C-alpha cells in the first residue's frame, strides 16, 4: 500500500513537470526553435516512460491487493478515513492533471501538424483546388 501511495505522489510531481515541458514545447514550436523542440521532446519521452512504468506498477500493486479486477477506488477503501480522503483527493487531482496534459499535448500536436502542412505548401505548392476542365 505504501508503494501505491508513493507512486501516486510521484505522479503528481511528474505531471506538474510534464505540464511545464508541454508549455516549453509549445513555446519552442511557436518560435520555430528546432534544437529546443528536440530537447524538450526527448525530455517528455523520458518522463512519460517513467510515468508509464509507475502506472504499470500501480496496476500490479492493486491487483496484488485486490485481485485481477481490483480498482484504485477499492484500494483506497482499505485505508483509514483521513488517509483515504487524502488519497481520493490526490487521485482526483492526478486525473485532472492527466486531462490537462492531454489537452496541452493535443494543442501542441495540432500546432506542429499545421506548421508542417504550411511548410509543405510553401515548398511544394498548393494542390489543385479545381479539377482541370
Distance in angstroms (rounded) separating the CA atoms of residues 68 and 60: 9
What's the average pLDDT block by block, 10 residues per block, for the chain (133 residues)? 93 98 97 95 98 96 94 93 94 97 97 87 68 59
Distance in angstroms (rounded) separating the CA atoms of residues 85 and 79: 9
Model confidence, pTM = 0.86
Q: Following CA atoms 78, 81, 84, 88 in sequence, which dihedral angle do they give, to the nearest 10 degrees?
A: 130
**H and E: helices and strands count for the chain:** 4, 0
Q: Does domain 2-124 have CATH number 1.20.58.300?
A: yes
Amino acid at each position: 500500500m505504501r508503494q501505491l501511495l508513493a507512486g501516486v505522489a510521484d505522479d503528481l510531481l511528474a505531471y506538474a513537470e510534464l505540464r511545464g515541458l508541454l508549455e516549453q514545447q509549445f513555446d519552442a514550436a511557436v518560435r520555430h526553435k528546432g534544437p529546443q523542440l528536440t530537447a524538450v521532446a526527448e525530455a517528455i519521452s523520458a518522463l512519460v516512460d517513467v510515468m508509464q512504468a509507475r502506472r504499470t506498477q500501480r496496476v500490479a500493486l492493486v491487483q496484488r491487493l485486490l485481485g485481477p479486477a481490483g480498482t484504485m477506488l477499492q484500494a483506497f477503501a482499505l485505508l483509514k478515513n483521513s488517509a483515504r480522503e487524502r488519497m481520493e483527493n490526490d487521485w482526483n487531482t492526478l486525473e485532472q492533471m492527466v486531462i490537462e496534459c492531454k489537452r496541452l499535448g493535443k494543442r501542441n500536436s495540432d500546432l506542429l501538424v499545421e506548421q508542417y502542412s504550411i511548410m509543405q505548401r510553401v515548398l511544394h505548392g498548393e494542390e489543385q483546388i479545381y479539377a482541370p476542365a
